């Protein structure tokens, strides 16, 4: 708004100055074309000027006074400009970011409200997790089955993936699932700007972190598990319940299969075939994420501490992990979602698969 007013004022000034200059040039040009000899009277340096008494009186004082006033304006205006400019720039960036969030929200909206329906599958505008109708085809028999595929919560997506990884998911989707590619490069309908605005929207719906000052905008920058304590408590309570009622044999196994927020906190949705549509096959036998059974995790990571750090940070594009692993950035990091204790329990369980 302020920027708009300033621009208008600048335009008016520019027009006035340009118009004044043109008028002056025209008048000057005309007077210069007067008959020969007239320049003797017209040339300013040939005209008789005011007497000393007149010149050094009020007139001089006025000129000096004007000079002081202009100096004062400069002296005050420059520091003021210097003081306000950084804030103005930051404000402009923030205002732009708000516009992006707003655009992103419109893309995120359900179909009925004109959006691309992220909200429809992922649990509304809050992105708290949902389900999507889908057909899975049995690769051997060709039999088609209608299922509901769990769509993970997105209000914690930056707790487990960084921005580039999320961008990759949005552009290329998860082509085997209801999550279609959205970016032009992946064959979807959105240009880079739209993907960027969606990412801004996703940032705006992240559940706030607790007790962690550093890197305010980056949920992953806390030193240990840093979900809000009520969610952390939910994860813990739910996992122990599943152990107590005999669904799973250990705390680690329960965490591996945990279904809070449509599997956002679990491993099984990527590592157990069929888990996402409620028809799990052999636990950890591999789906989108690799097969972890037969001691594969333990042989990929002979050093348990190394595996713990991998589960905490997830895989990074191109980076080595374990003995001969190279990450693709698609394995999320769990260090900001689970506590050290929980990660150790999961790792213990997975190494025994
Ligand atoms: C038809 C339903 C559907 C729509 C529409 C949809 N998604 Fe998804 N999305 C899913 C499903 C299902 C998954 C999980 C796929 C899997 O199991 O790997 C997913 C996964 C994701 C993931 C990865 C989450 C993770 O932790 O693995 C992100 C990010 C995501 N979607 C964002 C979006 C955004 C943003 C939009 C809107 C442009 C969108 N989705 C539209 C169903 C959908
Ligand atoms: C969003 C899907 C996803 C989730 C959720 C997920 N993983 Fe993974 N995981 C992968 C992918 C993909 C890889 C392959 C490495 C890569 O592409 O970077 C992988 C690799 C691994 C590996 C290395 C396997 C090898 O032999 O190289 C281990 C161990 C592992 N995951 C354990 C886990 C555990 C434990 C959890 C839960 C705390 C988990 N994963 C959750 C997708 C996932």
Chain segment 71-89, per-residue pLDDT in tens:
999 999 999 999 999 999 9
Is residue 252 within 8 A of residue 348, CB to CB? The reply is yes
Residues 321, 327, 331, 334, CA torsion sign: positive
Ligand 1 close to Cβ of residue 151 (< 6 A): yes
Mean pLDDT of the chain: 91
Nearest CA to ligand 1 atom 18: 174
Residue 229: is its pLDDT beyond 90?
Answer: no
Average pLDDT over residues 190-201: 96
Q: How far apart are CA 171 and CA 188, in angstroms?
A: 7
299 Cα nearest atom in ligand 2: 26
Task: Please name which ligand lies nearest the alpha carbon of 277.
Answer: 1
Q: Looking at the chain, how many residues does it have? A: 353
Q: Flag the least confident range among 78-87, 155-164, 206-215, 249-258.
A: 206-215
Mean local confidence (pLDDT), 48-58: 82
Confidence of residue 113 (pLDDT cuts 50, 70, 90): very high
Please give the pLDDT value at position 168. 97
Atom of ligand 2 nearest to the CA of 343: 38
Contact 167, 195 (CB under 8 A): yes
Distance between CA atoms of residues 129 and 173, nearest Å = 16
Q: Give the pLDDT of residue 53.
A: 83
Cα 277 to chain centroid distance, Å, stands at 29
Q: Over the stretch 310-335, which tens digit does the pLDDT of each residue have? A: 999 999 999 999 999 999 999 999 99
Distance 289 CA to ligand 2 centre (A): 5
What was the pLDDT predicted at 84? 92
Tell me whether residue 252 is exposed, middle or buried, using C-beta atoms within 10 angstroms of its C-beta: 0 to 12, 13 to 18, 19 or more.
Answer: buried
pLDDT over 90 (residue 54): no
Single out the residue of 174, 190, 334 nearest to residue 265, CA to CA.
334
pLDDT at 287: 94
Which ligand number lies closest to the CA of residue 131?
A: 1
Ligand 1 centre from 176 Cα, in Å?
A: 11
Comparing CA positions, the residue from 174, 176, 130 lying closest to residue 154 is 130
Ligand 1 within 6 A of 343 CB?
A: no
Distances (CA, A) of 182 to 160, 234, 274: 20, 33, 24
Cα 331 to averaged position of ligand 2 atoms, centre (Å): 5
């Amino acid at each position: 708004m302020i920027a708009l007013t300033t621009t208008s004022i600048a335009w008016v000034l520019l027009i006035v100055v340009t118009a004044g200059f043109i008028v002056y040039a025209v008048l000057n040009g005309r007077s210069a074309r007067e008959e020969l000899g007239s320049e003797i009277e017209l040339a300013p340096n040939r005209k008789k000027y005011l007497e000393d008494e007149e010149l050094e009186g009020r007139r001089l004082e006025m000129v000096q006074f004007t000079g002081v006033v202009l100096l004062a304006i400069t002296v005050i205006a420059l520091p003021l400009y210097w003081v306000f400019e950084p804030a103005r720039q930051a404000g402009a960036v923030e205002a732009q970011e708000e516009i992006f969030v707003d655009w992103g929200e419109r893309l995120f909206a359900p179909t009925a409200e004109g959006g691309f329906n992220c909200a429809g599958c992922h649990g509304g505008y809050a992105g708290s997790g949902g389900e999507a109708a889908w057909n899975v085809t049995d690769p051997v028999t060709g039999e088609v089955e209608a299922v509901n595929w769990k769509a993970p919560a997105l209000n914690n997506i930056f707790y487990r993936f960084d921005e580039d990884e999320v961008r990759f998911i949005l552009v290329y989707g998860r082509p085997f699932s209801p999550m279609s590619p959205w970016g032009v490069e992946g064959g979807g309908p959105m240009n880079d700007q739209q993907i960027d605005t969606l990412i801004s929207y996703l940032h705006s719906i992240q559940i706030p972190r607790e007790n962690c000052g550093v890197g305010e905008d980056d949920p992953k920058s806390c030193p240990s598990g840093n979900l809000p304590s009520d969610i952390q408590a939910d994860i813990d309570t739910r996992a122990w319940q599943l152990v107590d009622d005999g669904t799973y044999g250990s705390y680690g196994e329960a965490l591996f299969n945990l279904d809070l927020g449509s599997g956002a906190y679990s491993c099984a949705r990527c590592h157990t075939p069929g888990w996402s549509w409620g028809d799990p096959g052999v636990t950890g036998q591999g789906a989108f994420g690799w097969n972890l059974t037969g001691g594969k995790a333990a042989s990929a990571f002979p050093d348990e501490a190394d595996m713990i750090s991998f589960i905490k940070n997830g895989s990074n594009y191109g980076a080595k992990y374990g003995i001969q692993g190279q990450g693709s950035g698609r394995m999320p990091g769990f260090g900001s979602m689970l506590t050290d204790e929980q990660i150790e329990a999961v790792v213990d369980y997975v190494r025994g698969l």
